[in-house]
Amino acid sequence: MKILVTGFMPFGGEEINPAWEAVKLLPDTINGAEILKAELLTVFRKGAQVLQALIEAHQPDAVLCVGQAGGRASMAVERVGINLRDARIEDNEGNRPRDEKIIPGGKDAYFSNLHTRAIVERLQNCGIPAALSYSAGTYVCNEVLYHLLYWIDTLYPQMQGGFIHVPYDPAQAAKMSSPAPSLPIATVSEGLKLALQEISQ
């Protein structure tokens, strides 16, 4: 089995993105599955283009994308991607789309075909804060998730795919003007490892 795991470049003025930092710590194999790690651009359209090229090149059995969601207190396993770009802040190239369809003619939403509840329960049982999430937002993370699920629906029906949002790292939270929840990158990486164990079963 081959699993592609992605994180994003820092954005919004942050020096790091805990999603990518946690992905980098993952082992190269989990439960016998080969783990491929890649960093995506935090740029509308381009992030998804990089992911598409990676999928075409490696033909993975599963794809798990990981992104930062500052303000969340736990690892959030996303259940759905929606067909909407509506940016609160600019991406890393200054784009700020408003009220745009990601794929004109695509469904309003696609659901992850990962065992999302089982992933959450595995993390919780191992002492890692985790929760199901029903909104991946409307920024680049959701755009990438929506594209991934669209491709599964239209091009790669045998592939699994989904997304996990992760909190700030404590070093990021310490710089905030008001308290923000956080999780250490090492803890996030352990949570991702547990998620990948569930996916690779």
Give the active site residues: 78, 141, 165
DSSP state of 10: -
Instruction: Calculate helix-pair angle for 46-58, 140-154, nearest 10 degrees.
Output: 40
Q: Which distant-in-sequence residues (6+ apart) come within 8 Å of 130 by Cβ?
A: 74, 75, 76, 77, 119, 120, 123, 124, 191
- How far is CA 146 from each of CA 76, 96, 107, 123, 128, rounded to the nearest angstrom? 16, 18, 10, 24, 26
d(CA 194, CA 37): 16
d(CA 173, CA 14): 11
- Please compute, for residue 196, the number of CA atoms within 13 A of its CA located in the half-sphere on the CB side: 31
Residue 191: CB atoms within 10 A of its CB come to 27
Nearest to 19 by CA among 189, 196, 190: 189
Residue count of the chain, please give it: 201
